[in-house]
Structure 1
Amino acid sequence: MFEDTLELAENKLLLLYILHKLEFPISKNQFTEIILENNFMNYFILQQYISELISSNFVKSEQKDNKHSVSITHSGTKVLNLFINRLSIDKKDLIDKYISSNLHNIKNAISVTADYTIANKNSFIVDLKAIENDITLIDIKLNVVSNKQARDLCNKWKSSSSEIYNKIINLLTND
C-alpha cells in the first residue's frame, strides 16, 4: 500500500513537472499524447490524476474556442519545488529531452489551428488560424466544394502555416 501511495505521488509530480517545463498552457489532447508516447501511465489513470490535480488547484483547466487546455498553477509550482527530489533523474531527463526535441511541434499545434465544417451538402467552410502570444496573426475562412479539398487545406496549413502566412503578407504588401 505504501508503494502505491509513492507511485501515485510520483506520477502526479511527473505531471506537474511536465506542465512546469512547458511554461505555457497545453491542450489536454497534447498532454495526453506526451504521457502515452513516453509510457508514463495509462490513459485512465492519467485522466484521474489530472482531475485530482485540478480539484486540488495544482493544475488549471481552461476552455477557449472549444479547446481545453491545462497549465500548472502557482500552488502546483510550489508543491513541485518542495517534492521535486522525489522524481527520478531518469524520468526528468526523459521529459527534458522529449520537450526540447518536440517543443516547436507542441507550440505550433497550440498556435496553429485548422478545422472545417459542412456549410451545406455541396460545400465546406475551412477555418485556418495562426495565433502568437494570444494575438491572432491570421484567421482565414474559405468555402470549398469537397471534403477532400477541406482536409487537404487543413493538412497543408498545419504543416506549412508560417510559409503560407509569409507568402500572403508578401502578396498583400508588394506592389
Structure 2
Amino acid sequence: METLNISELAQNKLILLFIIKGADNLFTEEELTSFILEREILNFFLFKQYISELLESNFIIFDSKNNYHITEDGKNALELFIENIPVEIKDKIIPSIMLFKRNKTSEKSVLSSYYKDEFERFFVNLTLKESENDILNLTLEVPNEDYAKSICENFKNNPDDFYLNIINYFD
C-alpha cells in the first residue's frame, strides 16, 4: 500500500475543499464520489478517509438535501493554503467542475407542469430558476391537455429562447 507524507495528505484534503467550493456546494455524496473516482483524483478509501476527517474537523458539513457544504473554517483553510494545490491539478479539475455545475443547475432551473382545475380548465406553469431565484414564473390557461403537454415540452427544450422572446416583446 502506498504511504503518503503529511504534505500529500494536506494537499489531497485541499483538493477536496477546492472541488466542493468550486461546485457551489451542489455535490451529493454519491455525485462527489463519482466525480473523484471517474477522474482518478483519489482512490475510494483515501477519498472516504479524507471526507470523514474534513467532516470531523468541521471544514465541510452536510445540508438537509445531503449536499456537501464548505464551512467558513474550510474556506479559510483553502484560502490560506490554495497555493499548495498544483496548477496542473486545478487546470484538470476546473473544467470538470464547471461542466458539473452547468449540468446540475440546468436540471433544476427549468420547471414546467400543468394541471386541471375544478372547472375543467387546463393551466400550464413555467418557471426558470437561476441559483435559487425565479427569473421567470408564468401561468397560462390553455385549451386542452395535449396543448398543455406540448407547451411544457417546448419550454423544457428551449427555455432560453422562450425567455428571450418574452424579454424582447417588452423591449
TM class by smaller structure: 0.5 to 0.7
Aligned-residue CA RMSD in angstroms?
A: 3.9
Kept in 2, the 8 Å contact 1:27–1:110? The answer is no
Paired AA for residue 58 in structure 1: F
Describe how 1:13-162 pairs up with structure 2 within 5 A.
13-22=14-23, 24-28=24-28, 29-64=30-65, 68-109=66-107, 133-134=131-132, 161=156
TM-score by length of 1: 0.59
CA positional deviation for 1:135? 6.0
Kept in 2, the 8 Å contact 1:25–1:69? The answer is yes
Whichever of the two has the greater Rg, that structure is: 2
Query: Unaligned stretches of 5+ in structure 1?
Result: 114-129, 139-156, 168-175
Task: Quickly say closer, same or farther: Cα 1:50–1:84, change in 2 above 3 A.
Answer: same
- Distance between the aligned counterparts of 2:58 and 2:156, measured in 1? 35
Task: Quickly say closer, same or farther: Cα 1:2–1:82, change in 2 above 3 A.
Answer: farther
Kept in 2, the 8 Å contact 1:10–1:86? The answer is yes
Task: Quickly say closer, same or farther: Cα 1:44–1:10, change in 2 above 3 A.
Answer: same
CA positional deviation for 1:163? 4.6
Q: Render the CA deviation track for 1:90-146: whole Å, top value 9, x for unaligned.
A: 101111122234431132356679xxxxxxxxxxxxxxxx865446899xxxxxxxx
Query: Unaligned stretches of 5+ in structure 2?
Result: 112-127, 138-152, 163-171
Q: Render the CA deviation track for 1:30-61: whole Å, top value 9, x for unaligned.
A: 21122112101122221221121111111121
- Distance between the aligned counterparts of 2:76 and 2:92, measured in 1? 22
CA positional deviation for 1:72? 0.9
Structure with bigger strand share is 1
Task: Quickly say closer, same or farther: Cα 1:133–1:85, change in 2 above 3 A.
Answer: closer
TM-score by length of 2: 0.60
Instruction: State how many pairs are aligned.
Output: 139
What percent of counterpart residues are identical? 33
Kept in 2, the 8 Å contact 1:26–1:110? The answer is no
CA positional deviation for 1:4? 2.6
